[in-house]
């Protein structure tokens, strides 16, 4: 199964190819995507992305995870989250969301088992 292309990104809106839903924040993995609801794990801009936010994506067998920190990079990514991914043998890229989407799509187009979590506002 391949990772779906992120078809479009604008402030507060993301579209994933093959999915009719428009996301504000989303999780993607080989074969699927869904809304990234921060309330599920109590995520806030600080301290930011928690390992619990990534568990679902990790369980899909990804080799690389791309984290989009927002358009203005307001979303933090603590070292503990990066360590969690590395301990699971997963490469991690932490980027401003527009750059993160470009990198994610490039990896997906190369057939890499890539997943991601993306914040589309601040």
Cα 20 to the chain's mean position, in Å? 18
| pTM for the structure as a whole | 0.98
**Partners of 93 in the β-ladder:** 66
End-to-end CA distance of the chain: 32
Instruction: Reduce the DSSP state of residue 34 to 3 states and report it.
Output: strand
- Where does the pLDDT of residue 18 fall: very low under 50, low under 70, confident under 90, or very high at 90 and above? very high
pLDDT tens digits, one per residue of 20-45: 999 999 999 999 999 999 999 999 99
- B/e letters for 104-116, b = 16+ CB within 10 Å, e = fewer, are bbebbeeebbbbb
pLDDT tens digits, one per residue of 100-118: 999 999 999 999 999 999 9
Q: Mind listing the domains of the chain with CATH numbers?
A: 6-118 (3.40.1230.10)
Average of per-residue pLDDT across 80-85: 98
Distance in angstroms (rounded) separating the CA atoms of residues 13 and 10: 5
């Amino acid at each position: 199964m391949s990772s779906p292309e992120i078809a479009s990104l604008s402030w507060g809106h993301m579209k994933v190819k093959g999915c009719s839903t428009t996301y504000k924040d989303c999780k993607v993995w080989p074969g699927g995507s869904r809304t990234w609801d921060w309330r599920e794990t109590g995520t806030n801009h600080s301290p930011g992305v928690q390992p619990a936010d990534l568990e679902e994506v990790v369980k899909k067998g990804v080799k690389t995870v791309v984290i989009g920190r927002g358009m203005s990079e307001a979303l933090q990514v603590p070292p503990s989250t990066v360590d969690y991914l590395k301990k699971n043998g997963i490469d991690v890229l932490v980027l401003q969301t527009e750059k993160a989407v470009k990198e994610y799509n490039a990896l997906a187009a190369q057939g890499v088992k890539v997943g991601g979590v993306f914040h589309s506002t601040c």
